[in-house]
Structure 1
Amino acid sequence: MSAFDAFVTVHQYQLASIPKDLWEPLFMKLGDDYLDAGNAFELHYGDPLEGYTLHAKTNVEKNSNIFLVDHAWTTKPENAKKEIKAAPGLLDRLESLMDIEKEEVYDSDEEDEVEEDSNMVDIVAEQASVSRESAKKALVAEKYDLVNAIMRLTMTEEFKAESDRLQEQVMGQLIASGKAEEKDQRLQKEKEERRKTREKEVLERRVNRVYDQMWVYNQTYSYSVITADGATAVESVWYINDEVGSAITHSSEPNCVMVPFIFSRGNSATIPYSVIFPIKDIAEGEIVTRDFVPKDLKDSLDRKAYLMAYPGRLANDEEIGTEEEFIAAYQALVNVPHPDTKPAKSVNAMALLKTPTTQNVDIKVFTTAEFVRKNLTLPHITFTEDLESADIIWTVQDFTEWEKLSHGQRVSQVPNESCLTYKNNLAKLISHTYGPVSWCPQTYNLIDQLPAFVGDYLQRSHQVDNTDNLWITKPWNYARGMDISIATSLPQVIRQRETATPKITQEYIDKPLLYNDRKFDLRYIVLLHQTSPMVACVYNMFWIRLANKKYDKDNVDDYEKHFTVMNYSNYQMTQLHYQTFIQNIEKEHKLKWADVQKDINFAIKDVLSAACIQEQPIGLAGSETQYKPFAVYGFDVMVTADLKPKIIEVNFSPDCTRACSYDPDFVNNIFSVVDGRIGDIGKALDSFTVL
């Protein structure tokens, strides 16, 4: 096999998007790392857009050539700011590439100079009876101290002479004692410290500006990795093309294509490039364009919403959407009437749960949950490995063997419960049932609700009390705080649409109730006993997840200030018992936690009611089975500063190991309520609040 044939075999999937006639030229250029785009194209500044654009230096024919583009920087968003600071020259290069004016650090003496104030000059000239020029000189000499400038000009010659003599005498004594030198050293040290502080502040501002602007320029590709448990996962990386690639602008009728190309040199290295090839004839001087919009976005308004991520990089003004269009899309989403919402069936849940059943029956339990196996200590329980003979099945994995279940078996999953446990589905369920609600943050699916989100973002940007307009982005189906980030700009949120795992964006709760000045959220274990009629109860013991540092809305980069999930990271986790939390929060904020808890329970009930009302696939209703499903969910709740609960997410099959360490009867209580034949259901229900 020739080297070229081997190249085609290894890169066949990437080559599929490139005309076959260009494969061999690409192979030759990759082998030599031949970056020859400068022969065909040139950078223009301010023509026709602000900043840099790329233009044909000569006539370029369709599919006549292919050009390599280097990557200036490859990163992951969570590491980006650290990398910018650590890599010498990278910040300067990115500022130049993005046309960001570099902020300089000035010496303290220069900074201390006060700009001339015409009114001050006039006052000094009038009070001291001198010319404006003399007044100006006196103000400069006295660092624009008005009183000292006037005194300087009005002192008599005799007073000046005596003042100078005393000054010389004092300085002589200071020099002899060495205190003058000590003072100079102290002042110099203070000056250096002030400069270091300014350098750090300026660096932070520069890095933040580049980070915000990077979402206008970066591109992404995904790759597969093998996780620690042997599973396959997909990760995304972001990269910025070099000056040539970054100068290409958008057009829906582009004259070239640019795609990433990861070149494998066998065992030696893998080198990321981008490649450009013309798909139309490009005349000399013509601007070079490509289509920035993902192929799955077909609708005109969807495309315009996506292009809001690229301010200043659109070759055609007609493709820029209007604020009115996006706000109309937002209003259309949130103002849909919901006349078909029917109430959940009314039922005396407590009476139903306490319906007499035969006691002391031998119960077989099949489980894949280690915490169940270790903590289920009720009598008449036998563990079995035979799924079909089990009375109760508790599995922590997605259950798929529904056809093996028989009449009366209880299984710890409800068909289609992803309507609750996938964040995009939960948002759809709530919106479809109720519309906007106070107990759930406004949430958008970035795949199919982009125009509405942009409209909401733009509308909020005009609100005086919401100038930060912060949003949090999350994958649909990840837990443990994985791949969650706080977005500070519209382009950053929009570009999350391109990550390997689909995401939602949710309004960031920037005014949370604080515990000792720190953010917290609460994990509730909720048992959905049955769906029709709905019977559910909340475990009274809940878990507090506390941020490690005091909350600071202005510093969104500090994980320990803004996030509370510490037990799956390298951060220290604060353990706090719920009763201690209640006592302290009541004292700190002079509130009655029982009132807050009541609202939390109502919100949890509303979520489950929506699921039990709506037919599949939006909800859980419509699946009559001979077996009896139940479910245990982890509800994550935040509370706002004005004591309003916010349901953040619902978690599938939560790990209850920590719950068992706090309450040794936790598993026994759950099983006693699930199946009235086990244990003392009346005693077990004391640990729950029935919704």
Structure 2
Amino acid sequence: MADNDEYDRFLQTHEFQLLVNNIPKHFYRRLYEKMKNEIFDSGSYFQLCPADDDDEELEGTYNAERRYYVSTLQDIVLDPHNDENAIFLIDHAWTYRIKDARNNLTTIPTLYERMASLMNIDAETKEDGIELVLQRMWKYNQTYTLTSTQVETQRDCEETYEPYWYIMDELGSSIRHSNTNANVCCTSFFFGPSQTMFSIFYPIVRIDQPYTEIFRNFVYDNNETLDRSIRLLPWKHLHARKTFLRHLTIENSSELFNQKLQNSLEIFEKCHQHDLYDKKQILMNDSIEIDQDRAWKVYTDHELVTQYLNDKHYQLIDDPDQADILFVMKQLNEFRHETIENKLISQFPFENIITNKELLALTARRWKSLYGSSTSDNDPYIDSHGSPPWLATTFNLTYELSQFAVYFQYREDQQLDNTWIVKPINLTRSIDMSVTNSLDMIIRL
């Protein structure tokens, strides 16, 4: 009875993950039991086999540098519809944050040796080997970010949401990619009771032939688009990758470079879709009289303001509706007159076109399209892209990944510096910011 209660709680608290990962319901009970008891039974169903570079199943240019592949054992049948046990756990060999990767490889005993073996690296020195691991790990990396319901309250700060990266164990890391023959699905799953992140995989088609290799799809979007091809580049042989990108020049792929993101209203409208304001009355409130004898009620979500605002003229309160002053970090969407009348606020409508990094770059590019001129005699990609001369060339990788990858290859061929700063859209300061010249890393980020 107690175990049934625990299982019911598991279903309730993990419902979102179960649904988002499209895990079939008949796997739920066995998945719960395996995670609860840490049952890693894949060795009874699968084996590692040495990879043959001439193997046609390599799909031409994919799966470079993998030493092994994974196949079923001789008498194994996996039915995705009826076999409740056909869901398996994968252990994580290394979990880290990007800023800690080099130090981990240097200081954690046997970690470098395990990663070098897993990634098929044979270097003369450990220092050289670590450099190769840091380059090649993007072919193996998986990632997750904990949500606010998965972290302790006292640690619930912005740094908590910085992504974790992980390398699966030898079995998980040896499952190869296929565009057309994927027969298992692999995903990460956070088990709340033990606060453990697992990787899990299960069949999506019936597997009944002896020694069948299992494949997964590294990019879940099955639409044959250019962006999908770009996202698969980290797993391509280097020569094939460069040939592919060199074909996408500004001369023979003009339609790709004629798409001007700065001329699209989609991003601006998306950022302001929930804004409420008076179109005819967005005014500075200069009618408030400053009474130095009263205590001004302040609502804030800023920890430092809460800690240090102790002057007698101010009173911190928890209800923003009762406040005279709103000093908030969270972006305000409500600017209607009846809401903010007689309040002093620390923001103004639409300020995020200069405070949000992705909108600032687009605003600068729109300025150049209206008032600027050609910025480079030698770089046609910069002129096509639209960055003004006073702003570092900036790509929004959500929308411009293909254009960026082509430009990256162009700069490499021109022997120009190819170091880029990569920043997440939704985090402040330098959290999760990376500086790199690795195209694999930039695509995977």
> How big is each residue's C-alpha offset from its partner over 1:173-205, in whole Å with a ceiling of 9 and x where there is no partner?
xxxxxxxxxxxxxxxxxxxxxxxxxxxxx3322
Partner residue, 2:16: 13
**How much does 1:256 deviate?**
0.5
Aligned to 1:441: 392
1:141 equivalent in structure 2: none
Deviation digits for residues 582-607 of structure 1 (CA, Å, limit 9, x no counterpart): xxxxxxxxxxxxxxxxxxxxxxxxxx
CA distance in 2, matches of 1:248, 1:338: 37
Instruction: Write the distance in 2 (CA, Å) between the matches of 1:395 and 1:37.
Output: 54
Q: 2:216 aligns to what? A: 290
Q: Which residue of 1 is the match for residue 284 of structure 2?
A: none
CA distance in 2, matches of 1:444, 1:69: 36
Tell whether the 8 Å contact from 1:307 to 1:320 is kept in structure 2 after alignment: no
Alignment of 1:317-332 (within 5 A): 322-324=244-246, 326-328=248-250
1:277 paired with 2:202, answer yes
CA contact (8 A) 1:304 1:321 kept: no
- 3-state SS of 1:480 partner: coil
Q: Deviations over 1:477-520 (max 9, x none)?
A: 43332221112311111111xxxxxxxxxxxxxxxxxxxxxxxx
Any conservation in 1 of the 2:262–2:363 contact (CA below 8 Å)?
A: no
Matches within 5 A, 1:159-198: none
Conserved in 1, the CA contact under 8 Å of 2:387 and 2:394? no
Q: What amino acid sits opposite 2:70 in the alignment?
A: L
- Can you list the C-alpha shifts for 1:231-288, whole angstroms capped at 9, x where unaligned? 6753421111111110112223311011122334x4xx33332122111123333331
Q: 1:240 aligns to what SS in structure 2?
A: strand
Q: Residues of 2 paired with 1:215 and 1:90: CA distance?
A: 16
AA aligned opposite 1:221 = Y
How many angstroms does 1:310 deviate by?
Answer: 2.2
When residues 284 and 426 of structure 1 are mapped into structure 2, their CA distance, relative to the original with a 3 A threshold, is: farther
Which residue does 1:242 correspond to in 2? 169
Distance 1:405 1:87, change over 3 A: closer
Matching residue of 2:266: none
What is the SS of the residue equivalent to 1:475? coil
Unaligned runs of 5+ in 1: 105-201, 341-360, 375-381, 497-691
Deviation of 1:432 (Å): 3.6
The within-5 A match list for 1:420-459 is 420-434=354-368, 435-459=386-410
Matching residue's letter, 1:54: V
TM alignment of 1:145-160, pairs within 5 A: none
The answer for the alignment partner of 1:495 in structure 2 is 444
Tell me if the contact between 2:326 and 2:343 (Cα under 8 Å) persists in the aligned partners: no
- The match for 2:227 is 302
1:27/1:215 CA distance change after superposition, 3 Å: same
2:78 aligned to 47, 50, 61, which one?
A: 61
Residue 25 of structure 1, CA deviation = 3.0
Q: How high is the TM-score relative to the length of structure 1?
A: 0.46
Give the counterpart letter for 2:203 in structure 1: P
Tell me which structure has the larger Cα radius of gyration.
Answer: 1
Match of 1:483 in 2: 432
Contact conserved, 1:4 with 1:24, CA < 8 A, in 2? Answer: no
| Distance change >3 Å, CA 227–CA 212, structure 1 → 2 | farther
| DSSP 3-state at the match of 1:60 | coil
Q: Aligned letter for 1:251?
A: S
- The answer to whether the 8 Å contact 2:421/2:435 transfers is yes
Is the CA contact (8 Å cut-off) linking 1:60 and 1:281 kept in structure 2? yes
Letter in 1 for 2:9: T
Letter in 2 for 1:474: K
Residues in 1 aligned to 2:224 and 2:361: alpha-carbon distance in whole angstroms: 22
Change (3 A) 1:4 1:83: farther
Cα gap change, 1:215/1:405 in structure 2, threshold over 3 Å: closer, same or farther? same
Whether contact under 8 Å (1:61, 1:281) holds in the other structure is yes
8 A contact 1:471–1:486 mirrored in 2: yes
* Structure-1 residue corresponding to 2:131: 208
Q: Is the 8 A contact 2:90 2:200 kept in 1?
A: yes
Cα deviations by residue, 1:628-671 (Å, 9 ceiling, x for unpaired): xxxxxxxxxxxxxxxxxxxxxxxxxxxxxxxxxxxxxxxxxxxx
CA deviations over 1:78-101 (Å, ceiling 9, x no partner): 111111112211111111111111
Alignment check: 8 A CA contact 1:327 1:454 kept: no
Deviation at 1:388, TM superposition (A): 11
CA RMSD of aligned residues (A): 4.1
CA distance in 2, matches of 1:31, 1:451: 43
TM normalised by structure 2 equals: 0.68
- Cα distance, 1:299 vs structure 2: 5.9
**Shift in alpha-carbon separation, 1:287–1:229, aligned structure 2, 3 A:** closer
CA distance in 2, matches of 1:73, 1:401: 47
What amino acid does structure 2 have at the position aligned with 1:322? F
Q: Does 1:34 align with 2:39?
A: yes
Going from structure 1 to structure 2, the CA distance change for 1:394 and 1:276 (only over 3 Å counts) comes to: closer
Distance 2:196 2:325 in 1: 50
> 1:368: how far off?
7.1
Aligned mate of 2:422, from 473, 493, 511:
473
Residue 31 of structure 1: how far off its partner (Å)? 4.5
Q: Rate the CA distance shift 1:286–1:322 in 2: closer, same or farther, 3 A.
A: farther
Aligned-pair distance for 1:45?
A: 2.5
Deviates more, 1:398-407 or 1:60-69: 398-407
How far apart are the structure 1 equivalents of 2:95 and 2:340? 54
Q: How many residues get paired?
A: 360
Distance 1:255 1:217 in 2: 19
Aligned equivalents of 1:339 and 1:476: distance in 2? 17
Q: Distance in 2 between matches of 1:412 and 1:231?
A: 21
- For the residue of structure 1 that corresponds to 2:134, the secondary structure is helix
Matches within 5 A, 1:580-595: none
* AA at the equivalent of 2:78: E
What's the CA shift for 1:62?
3.1
Q: Is the 8 A contact 1:43 1:244 kept in 2?
A: yes
